Structures are given as C-alpha cells and as structure tokens.
Structure 1
Amino acid sequence: MTQFDPSLLPHLAPSAAAVAQLQDDLRIRAVRTERWVGFSRARHVLEHLQSLRDDPPSTRPPGIAVFAHSGMGKTMLVEKFRRNNPPTNHLAHGVESTPVISITLTSRPNERRIYAQLLAALDIGIDQRAATLADLEGRAVRLLKQAGVRVLVFDEIHNLLAGSPREQRVVLQLLRFLSNELKASLVCLGIAEAREAIAGDVQLARRLDQIALPRWKADAEFQALISAVLRSLPLRHPSALSAQSIRHIARVSEGITAKIFSMMNQLAIEAIRNGTDRIIDDAVEAWKPAIEKEAAFA
C-alpha cells in the first residue's frame, strides 16, 4: 500500500489526512463512522452551552432552548457537548462528578418516567412500579446533587404536546423545580413546535434564551460548511466544487444537515471506490440517494 505523508495533504484536517493513508476499505469505514465536523453554527451553539456549564450556581439558572427541523444536528451538538464535559472521578472523596446529564423525553412524558430516565442516566437502576413518586423524586434529586450536575439537557421537548394541558404543565413545572433545586441550567431541544410546549410555563420560558437552527441556504455560511465537511473526508486529492454544485447540494438535501452529510459521505465513498479520490462537479450532478439507486434495480 502506498504511504501518504499527512503534511502532503494540506486540503485535509490532520485526522482525515492520517486516515487517508489507510486501505480503501478502512477509509470507507471511517467515512461511514460518525465524526464531529466543526463549523460556525455548531461552534456558536457549543459556546452557549459551555457558558452554562461554566457559570457558577445560582438560584435562577439561565438556560437555552434550541429549535430546529428534524435532522439539523441538535442531538449531535448535545453529544459533542457531553464529550467535552465527561464525568470525572474525585479519588480523594470517592465521588464521581457528572456535570452534564442528557435524556430524551418519551412520546408522552410524565414525572415518573423523567425521574426514572434521570436515574438511568446516572446508571442507577430502579423499579418504577415498586417506587412511589415521592421516592423517585427524593432519590433522583439527592443523587443528582451528589453528582454535581450543572446542566440538564432534555431532547425532544416537543413530545410534551402529546399530553393533556394539565400533563404539560406538570412536566414543565418539574423541569423548573429540578433547575431550582439543583441550581442547574436547563437545555431544551426540539422542533419548532417545542416553542409552544415551553410557552406553557411563562417563568420557565423567560429563563431560556432561544436559538433557532434554520435550514441551510446556498450562501457563504453553507459554502463554509461544505468546505469543513470536505476537510473531514479522507480523500487523497482536493475536491474543488463550483458554485453551481454547492447550490445543487443545498437544493437536493433540502438544507437538512443530516442529508448534507449523508450525500457528501456517499460521494466520498464513490470517489474512493472509483479511484478518483476526490468529489467533482459531475459526481455531484449525477448523485442519487442510495435508496433511489436500489429502487431502480427492484
């Protein structure tokens, strides 16, 4: 196998340049593996999240609500935030600190489910049926305090809307109670309808700064995103895409982050397989989703 010096691949990020030295099957596996790609919009949200983590405890902790269409990368941002703030062991005290706890609200969330999910996030098993709500609350609050939780993340917050107005109020009050009791910041993520869910508790809504992640448009910000994605793909030759190709990617992906990454990954895999080792305009114009390709042979 030909060896490549990463310094001779300046069009790639260092990690991608290292992978570019590997065999084709390993490069394809790397393309298919989830990876973090830093771009301005993501860095902006992460900076806000980190500021919550770094703020000292307060009686009215600030928070953030992130609204975006499905597939815009909300969960990816949370996972990156969690990796940036992992649990740490304090050997002197024999205690593990968990600064960030994240759960995904179920299709019809309620107090018992949320407390059970929070305990599970701390690797604490509990029999919901055998425990009273008061038991769940007391245990969850006590252990969350012991863990030193600074940020509570609730994904799919729009699932609140599946409940009755009373059920929605109860859950929103629970979130506010947890924030107050733990002196921890709240991060709520969901689709646009999540605004309606959070608005059900005026006091909570006032604490949450709102960040919207709109669909991508074929502008300078989108071009920067494509450049960042290209730098993350282990292709041995630079990919120079025209403005027309950039617009085409934005159009066929519908501006959805997940679709953009999927398209670029598929183009990269095809480039590795056919030996061009770069993404070219013709490939972008000819690209079809993998499902459509399979359907053509059905």
Structure 2
Amino acid sequence: MIDAPDAERQNAILMGSWMSLTPSVKALEFMEFLLRHPPSTRPPNLLLIGDSHSGKSTVLERFLSLHGPVVSPEAETSVVDVVVITCPPEPKIKALYMSILDALLVPYKPNAEEGAMYSQIKLIFRKVSVKVLLIDEINNTLQGPPLRQRQFRNALKNLAHDTKVRMVTAGTYDALNALTIDEQLGSRFETMYMPRWKSDKEVGTLLATMEKRIPLKKPSDLKSVAMLRLVKERAEDSLGDICSLVRNAAVKAIDTGVEQITEALINDLVWTPPSKRRRSVQPGVQLAI
C-alpha cells in the first residue's frame, strides 16, 4: 500500500493486522485443542488472564475468525463451532442467556423466563453444533452481591455440563477470584497469562515487525535502542499501548508529510500513558456530566 492515497494508508495502519506473538500463539493452540476435544462430562476450559489492553480480546477475535460459521445451501442449519460474547456488566443469568442468543442471531422474547431461554440455548447449541463458547471480560462477574455471583457461576457450570461446550474465558487478574473462588468450577479451567512486554529483545522484534507492515515511505528504525526505550517508556510495557502508540505516530507521520516515525514525533504526540488514564476522583471534586 506504499503508493496508495494517504487516507487509505492511514486506515490500514489503524485497522492493524494479526501478529503471531508467542503468548497469543500458545493460547490459540490450547483453544484448538479444546475445539477438537470430544464432548465429556467434565470438559476442559481455559482462563486467559492479563492486564487491560494486553491482547486477550484480540486472541478471542482471532480464534473466532479462524472458525466462523459454515453455511451450506444444502444443509438445514449452519454449523457454528465457536460463539463469542462479552460477559454482562453484572452477574445476571438472564443477561448471560440473552447475550448468547444475540450472538447466535436467535429471536427470543425479552420477557421470557430464564428457564425458557436456557432450554432455547441448549436446543440451538445442539442444532448448530456449538463446541466452544468464548466469554470476554469474565471479571464482570465480581460486580454483584455474593449470592448473585454464586448463582451466575452455577449457571456457567450447568451450561458446560448440559451442553458439553468447552469455555474460554478472558479477563483481568480479578477474573482469578471470579472463577477460582468456586473450587469445583475453578478446577475445570487451565490458566494462561498474557504478560507485560518488558524484554527489550521481544519488544524490538515486535517493533521491527510493525515497521515492516506500516506503509510509510521512509524507514523509522523502531528497534533502535533510543526508539525502543522511548516507546516502552510511553506505553509502559503494555502490548496494546505499544501498538496504539506506533500506529498513531505512523498516522501523524503521514499527516505531517515526514513519512517516518521519529523521536520528536512520538514526543509531540498527544498521548496519555496507561497509568495516568486511571485517575481517581479526589474528595470534594465534582464531575461535570
């Protein structure tokens, strides 16, 4: 795309592309194992843990893209091996069921009883051959009272038991408490971590890969010592922030016509480090609404 119009190049940069990074590849390999695993009484599951913006959701989206629905004109129904949802903001069972039905594009009555929705889910899972259920932001289950949390976990257990579906859940480190507090449920999940990017060697490889894929007309030498340290410092070792920082800088490089990412350009970029985005409201300070 090096000779494409500026707007097209910038759009391609911001969209990004999949990069086969070691933690992500390992997670995908285990998810492939879950997909191949035959139905069983205690199906294996995966809990993917990491900081915000560490690549968890991207891994789920990648797996879904590799195993999209199979639609055949001759078949009575589609084959849907993988379904992805975001965990409801609170541990409400009905909201969970509605999310699953929405993901499957199945009509339902919003005022239907939980039991009716659950029966509908079991039927449709069987009908379209769902094998793996991906649940992002599983740490949301900690947002309600203990009784509701326990009921929500029981709903997940029942779903896995009744449908033999394998589950992949992803969330922040709080998600460990969300699932492992229930010994019976927690014992069914293997845990994998999306680490922070502290190694200069690994970050250098990542930046070199990104530079090859970004359609700028001049080299930026992102893996140089000075550029690597600057990017790591501003992105604070977060994978998502490293990628966002470089992409935003590349877009500005096209806007300004310099066609390369420089230290001056990164320093001049409007960019708030991750740690400063998490600000607490000081006592006596009123928020404007």
For normalisation by structure 2, the TM-score amounts to 0.87
> Is 2:218 the counterpart of 1:216?
no
Pairing of 1:144-293 with structure 2 (within 5 A): 144-241=125-222, 242-284=224-266, 286-290=267-271
Counterpart position of 1:76: 58
Measure the CA separation in 2 of the matches of 1:145 and 1:86.
17
What percent identity do the matched residue pairs reach?
A: 27
- Judged with a 3 Å threshold, the aligned counterparts in structure 2 of structure 1 residues 92 and 78 are, in CA distance, closer, same or farther, namely same
Q: How many residues align?
A: 272
Q: How far apart are residue 282 of structure 1 and its match?
A: 4.4
Counterpart position of 2:82: 100
- Is the 1:157–1:189 Cα contact (8 Å) retained in structure 2? yes
Deviation string, structure 1 residues 237-268 (Cα, Å, up to 9, x no partner): 33313113212211111122222112101221
Q: How far apart are residue 34 of structure 1 and its match?
A: 4.3
For normalisation by structure 1, the TM-score amounts to 0.85
Aligned-residue CA RMSD (Å): 1.9
Measure the CA separation in 2 of the matches of 1:37 and 1:272.
23
Opposite residue 122 of structure 2, the aligned amino acid is V
Q: How far apart are residue 86 of structure 1 and its match?
A: 0.1
Deviation string, structure 1 residues 63-98 (Cα, Å, up to 9, x no partner): 110111111121111111100100002444321111
- Judged with a 3 Å threshold, the aligned counterparts in structure 2 of structure 1 residues 34 and 114 are, in CA distance, closer, same or farther, namely same
Question: Secondary structure of 1:238's match?
Answer: coil
Opposite residue 168 of structure 1, the aligned amino acid is Q
> Is 2:39 the counterpart of 1:60?
no
- Is the 1:38–1:228 Cα contact (8 Å) retained in structure 2? no
Question: Secondary structure of 2:130's match?
Answer: coil
Is there any run of 5+ residues in structure 2 with no aligned partner, and where?
274-289
Deviates more, 1:270-279 or 1:81-90: 270-279
- Is the 1:267–1:287 Cα contact (8 Å) retained in structure 2? no
Measure the CA separation in 2 of the matches of 1:61 and 1:238.
49
Measure the CA separation in 2 of the matches of 1:206 and 1:291.
39
Question: Secondary structure of 2:193's match?
Answer: strand
Counterpart position of 1:126: 108
Deviation string, structure 1 residues 136-164 (Cα, Å, up to 9, x no partner): 11111111121111111111111111112
Q: How far apart are residue 192 of structure 1 and its match?
A: 0.5
- Is the 1:168–1:200 Cα contact (8 Å) retained in structure 2? no
Question: Secondary structure of 1:128's match?
Answer: coil
